[in-house]
Structures are given as structure tokens and as C-alpha cells.
Amino acid sequence: MTKKKDIFTVKEDLTELANLIHKLSSSNSFKDRTKIEKALITVLRQMEVSGNRKRTMDDYRLHVTDFMKSAGLTFLDEITTESIYLWLEKMDVSSQTRLIRLKCLKAFLSRCFDNGWFETNFWKSINIKVDKQVKEGAMEQDIKILLSVLDLKDFVQLRDATAVLLMYKTGIRVSTLANLEEKHIDFSDKLLRLNGDILKSRESLLLPFDDVLTRMLDVLMKQNKAIRCQYQKDNNFVFITKQGGPIATGPSNNNIQKRLNKYAREYGLKNINPHALRRGFAKSLLDRGARLTDISKALGHSDLSVTTQYLYLDKNEVAGNLRKFL
């Protein structure tokens, strides 16, 4: 019996072979692992090809890199629910800001899942509860007050007044305003003819404007021509600086937005900012009986649920509206 068992026992010294196998397994353990940094580069490239906004890609780069460094992680397979929660706990910011950063990281991880780098999307269950902040739109009375105090004989104030009224009457974003060119203004039909290149939705849009805006845009564009000639600038933007250049040099550096913040402080106006003007446009249309689908289309939304968030309705107003159908 003993002799039969001995044949199954290898008596050779295999220390060297064991060391070689250990080295082989160690090198292979990193072979198929994807680095977070490399994954981020790939995802950003995919987003660029798909036509995502630069600002969105910058957010991915900022928050994913911050997570990676804060959590001390290198590879995607090191990311766990716990590491994400620890990252969130380290932030000295509001719950709303924390939620925004979490959404960005989750969106990145979802793209990684789509690329086959994760077997499960475990991060789906991670969430942060925040109190919903009510954002009211600009009121017509505040618009009238602002326009009444601005000196339309001054180029900058004429420009700002036109920008305010255009955003309030058409609902365009301040980023669209910054890229608006003379070719987009149709005076004969009193329309903004916007192509997908300057819209977040990437879909073309027609937005009507009234006689007041027709006159203001006409005067502004004539003044623009003189300024561009003076400073030898070659562009066709509708809204330019005093030196004839573009009003925006980046997603967070917009001359009009800064001016509106200044006016709001100076004249004590509550909701004079680009987003409030956009919300005010939506609410004013609703109050005049416009269909929700038309409002949504004008805002460039692909989802009606997003549009409804723009339409802040007081509970008493809702009750009054419902009473009409009793």
C-alpha cells in the first residue's frame, strides 16, 4: 500500500517552479484590470464623438478624478459602494451639490458598465435625499422695472435689455444667446431660426418674437456693426462686448450673466437671472393657455417631466385651476 501511495508523491524540489508560477499569476492579475484613468479617457472620447457638451465632459473629468484621488483607487474593480459613500462623506458641501457630483460619477460608471468593464451596476442603489428647492421664474413686473431703469442710449445697457427681453420672450438659454448670430434673426417673419449647432437639444427650432424685440434687435445689430468696424472684429454675433468680441469665453464666463447678477443686486430684483427668465417664459405661456407640449418643444425638452419642473404652481393656484373643470 505504501509503495502505491509513493508514486503520487512528487519528490523533486519545485521551489523555483513555485516562485515562477507566483510571478506569473501576479503579473496576470493586473493584465486584465482597467485603470480608472484609462477608462475615463475612453469614455470622454466616446462622449466627444457622440457630440456631448464640453461642459458635461469637464464635469466627468473633474468629479471622477476627484473620486479616484480621494478614495485612493487605481482600478475600476476597486470601486465599491463603501468607497463611494466615503467619498461623499468627505465633501464639505451642500446635499444638493453632493447629489450633483454623485450623479456625475454614477453616469460615468454606467458608461463603464456599457463598455463591459463591470458585471453589475451596483451603484444604482446609492442615492442622497435632498429637499426639493422651489425655483420660481422671473415675473413680468420685475422685467418691466429693469427695462425702465436701463439707459437704452448706452450700448451695454441696450444690449443687456435686449438680452433680458429675448430670453424672457423666447425661453432660449444664455449659452444659446451667446452663440446667436445675425443669420438666426428673421425680421420678415419675426422668428428666431435656430439650428441644432447652438442648441442643447441639437434639434432646430423656430421661436417667434414681437414688435418690441424686432425694434430692439434692429437697433442693436446696427450698433454692433459700428463697434466691430471700430475694433476690426470679424464676427456676426448678435450680442457682443464693447470691444466687439463674443460675450462668453467659456461655460461659466458669460458677460450677460454677470451683468444680470449686478442688476439684481443693484435694484433688488429677485429672479433676474438666465434660468429664472427661462422659467418665467414657460410660466407666462402656461398662464396664457399654451399647451404643455408646445411649451416643452419651445424649451427644447425631450421629456415633459422636465418641463413640469419649470412650472412652479402654488397649491392655491392649482385648486383654482381645477375648480374651472368642476
pLDDT tens, position by position, 183-213: 999 999 999 999 988 888 888 999 999 999 9
Contacts of 40 (CB under 8 A, 6+ apart): 60, 61, 64, 65, 108
Report the pLDDT value the prediction gives residue 76, as an integer from 0 to 100: 95
- Cell representation of residue 129: 435625499
pLDDT digits (tens, 9 = 90+) for 30-80: 456 899 999 999 999 999 998 888 999 999 999 999 999 999 999 999 999
pLDDT digits (tens, 9 = 90+) for 238-288: 999 999 999 998 777 889 999 999 999 999 888 899 999 999 999 899 888
The count of C-alpha atoms lying within 13 angstroms of the C-alpha of 167, restricted to the half-sphere facing its C-beta, is 28
Quote the strand ranges of the chain, DSSP E: 185-186, 191-194, 205-208, 248-250, 253-254
Report the pLDDT value the prediction gives residue 23, as an integer from 0 to 100: 57
Average pLDDT over residues 215-235: 96
Residue-range domains of the chain with CATH: 36-125 (1.10.150.130), 140-323 (1.10.443.10)
Report the pLDDT value the prediction gives residue 19, as an integer from 0 to 100: 67
